[in-house]
A = this chain, B = another copy of it.
Amino acid sequence: MLSKANIKFLKSLQVKKYRKQEQCFTVEGAKSVQELLASDFEVLKVLATDQFMEGHAIRMGVEVITVTESDLANVGEYKSNNAALAVARMKANNPLEIAAGEFALVLDDIHDPGNLGTIIRTADWFGIRKIVASPETADFYNPKVISATMGSFTRVNIYYTVLTEYLQRVRARIFGAFLEGKNVHDVSFGGEGLIVIGSESHGISADVAALITDRVTIPRYGYAESLNAAIATAVICDNIRRVMPPVSDLKVDRF
């Protein structure tokens, strides 16, 4: 049974200001809650239907509240969620050190939550665990971002910071996706570096562009003027990884 105080608290977490104040966020849907429970996130509450409870072990120390499907629809962003909703503690916005032999993404004002979520999911597929994002990039903990990651929010870390300051200190190659650059099919990416993706409407900003060491472009075979930011990310990642063995051939501790 959901108390009025709980309902108010849960609904407040749909708003960035209150998420920040409480340092908490919500995770919705069976798959995402399952991934959360298997991750290193601190989980505070799980609201679950009887059916979800039957199939899942919930960690010790987590407040568990049995709810109906209409309770879930009422407090969450997704009306179609018929299984579970969890509240977890945000991670601190700590600087991410990029190790030798590692690729990371840099997002310059990706505003759309769906795009950010899809980029996180795509990064996870291609074995990229770290994202550095401008302060104007959508909030990682927005329910729409969390949902679009399809669970990958548990495996990819983000660090929000002023990109020019961050990139000035980087010694690795900084690749940037531009409409005019070297054909991505012909670029030797080597084994490490940063990949900068620009905003949906303005591309990479001038200040950040000045710090790019390698401009790359996805060749065009038709007439669209540009590609969606998440699409461009995926094509570049596939081109980076194609010279490497896929995960089934790697030792698991590689990641």
Contacts and interface: CB of A to CB of B under 8 A. Distances in A.
A221 B246 contact: yes
A250 B235 CA distance: 22
Best-surrounded residue of A220, A223, A248 (most CB of chain B within 10 A)? A223
A56 interface: no
Nearest to A234: B231
B247 A121 contact: no
A31 to B, nearest CB: 8
Contacts of A225: 150-151
A52 interface: no
Interface stretch (A68-76, A83-91, A236-244): A236-244
A247 B222 contact: yes
Interface string A217-231: 011111111111011
Given A228-B230, A230-B231, A223 B155 contact: yes
Identical copies in the complex = 2
B247 A221 contact: yes
A32 to B, nearest CB: 12
Interface string A4-34: 0000000000000000000000000000000
Interface of A: 114, 118, 121-129, 150-152, 155, 183, 185, 218-228, 230-231, 234-235, 238-239, 241-242, 244, 246-248, 250, 255
6 contacts: A122-B227, A125-B222, A126-B222, A152-B223, A228-B230, A235-B235
